[in-house]
Amino acid sequence: MKLFKLSLITLSVISLAACDLEGDDGVNGTDAINGLTKQTTLMTSNENCPNGGVRIDSGQDTNGNNKLDDSEIQSTNYVCEPGNTAINSGEILNNLNNSWYVQAQQVSEQNKEAWLEATVKEARGQAKNVILFVGDGMGVSTVTAARILDGQRRGLMGEENELSFDHFPFSGLSKTYNVDAQTPDSAGTMTAMMSGVKTDVGVIGVDETVQRGDCSTAQGNELVTALELAEIAGKSTGIISTARITHATPAATFAKSADRNWEDISDMPQEAINSGCKDIAEQLVNFEANLESRFSGLDVDGIEVVMGGGRRHFLPKDPAFNSPDAASSVEGDRTDGRDLTTEWQTQYPTGIYIYDSIGFDSITDSTERVFALFNESHMQYEADRSNDIAGEPSLTEMTEKAIAVLNKNPRGFFLSVESGRIDHAHHAGNAYGALNDTIEFARAIAKADEMTNDDDTLIIVTADHGHVFTIAGYPKRGNPILGKVVNVGADAPAEAADGMPYTTLGYTNGRGFMDLGSETNSDASYGMPISAGRKDLNSIDTTQPGYHQEALVPLSSETHSGEDVGIYAKGPAAFMVNGTNEQSIIFHIMNYASDLAEQAENRLN
């Protein structure tokens, strides 16, 4: 085919010289005045035509032998085959017809369009609403494993599945370290996200100059949070968590504390109490008054939605104040005799305080304000929720109700939603519990996305930190993510060098192996002895809810990791989520999208 093309090129060139070319490769032709030409095909790698071509010699047949001898050549020209600079579609037919190729091509086009659409608009101040979703402890490996488990439950192989926030058009990475720690805690990380300032381990709403546990060092070093700015700007505000509402992550939206453990007054040293520091539960109930005292002339209406666990920190240490569903003989922890739930109700007589499913079901679109404490301590794990004494709503249900209450404000709202028990299940060494809560977290995000508009609502999904949770071995595609490793092409579990099978999921440290069968409470492991190291899993069903993965290093509780975590975003200014960032950038993106600081400043002046 190539030679045919080259001959046509040569014919075209010779015809311009009025030659009557009849020869072929290496054959002489004659013209009208006894001139001769000789055409020679050149192979690739020729010094004159690297890609091959034709050499054309011409001259006069002086000796009359009807051949062009070398001595008769008067000129030489080359017609070279051009280099192959384009891919012919036929040469990549296998790619073009491949479903993975087609899908990736479609996604790349969608990504391009999303970027173009997002960046041509002026994003500053366009977000009337901001929702920050925090999966506590939801590292990259947790997202991957939850995605696979969710897909396998849907009847898919699993790996190709996508969680709701996997569809968000913009994503990046967050560096989670604290100012004083390589591997962080939730207090320092959530403070960074809420204030734009990275700080130390164990302190909430204050900068890194504070000495943990020293009340006096916190005074004057308090930070302003995105929720506070939204409140000052006249927006409605809300906090949701499946952990205690006074726990580090939700507390960092509203509290200032030199120690994350000061959840109620009984947790505080007398010196701190004498110095005037307030416990976190008290700060929540008096949030409105505290914020107004910090800014002259400020008048705000307080947080409209609070939902989570942690009743014990709001009630006196007196059985007379027990809730109907109290799990302990004395539910409350407070040693000052104060019932903060009653104090809240007195402040907000049109609001409703609830603690069970009946109260939750009473929330309507006309409800103005909600204070919900669904458990004495943390709320139940999603896998264990049906066992709650009084009935608990899911994270998705809480998110739906919260948005319905907050969405009535024409100025918009700020909402923080934490899935706190992902972290706790990992600490207990129970992947089933952590992944189950991650899947529910994804459902809550989908519900928020469904109820809001991309034109005026910024949704950011991230984690405060990861865990030492791994996906290992070489399991074949579709192998149960909670199961033992079965290699590609095999049917039986793979064996390690010690001759025993091993699971795909595992922990670097923690309490280690436990076979608790159908137990859905991840915390049940704390009643068992630590059992780190290798175990014989041949007869163990590792996909059961109560299976706790093996751990290498024995510890009383599995630890956080120092790895980067994902940030996923959609809505106004979501395109600012890209690359690898300090965790504190999340505040700045939310602030830019909703112009929180500017709006707050305008209302203060």
197-209 exposure pattern, b = at least 16 Cβ within 10 A, e = fewer: bbbbbbbbbbbbe
**147, 165, 244, 279 from 302: Cα distances, Å:** 37, 30, 20, 18
Task: Please state, as a whole number, how many other Cβ atoms lie within 10 Å of the Cβ of residue 107.
Answer: 10
Reported for 175-181, long-range contacts at CB under 8 A and 24+ positions apart, including other chains, are: 175/564, 175/580, 175/581, 175/582, 175/583, 176/463, 176/464, 176/465, 176/466, 176/562, 176/563, 176/564, 176/565, 176/583, 177/562, 179/208, 180/208
Judge contact between 225 and 233, C-beta under 8 A.
Answer: no
> What value, to the nearest 5°, has the Cα angle with vertex 130 and ends 129 and 135?
145
Question: What's the Rg (C-alpha) of the chain?
Answer: 35
Report the helix count and the strand count for the chain, using DSSP H and E.
18, 21
DSSP 178-224: BTTBSS--HHHHHHHHHHS----TT-BSB-TTSPTT-HHHHTT-B--
- DSSP assignment letter at 312: G
Say how many residues make up the chain: 605
User: Which residues have C-beta within 8 Å of that of residue 95, sequence separation ≥ 6?
Assistant: 101
Compute the Cα dihedral for 268, 271, 272, 273 and give only its sign. positive
- Name the nearest CA neighbour of 118 among 578, 477, 479, 473: 578
Q: What letter does residue 381 receive in the DSSP assignment?
A: P
Burial class of residue 112 in the structure, from the number of CB atoms within 10 Å of its CB (0-12 exposed, 13-18 middle, 19+ buried): exposed
Q: Which residues are the active-site residues?
A: 186
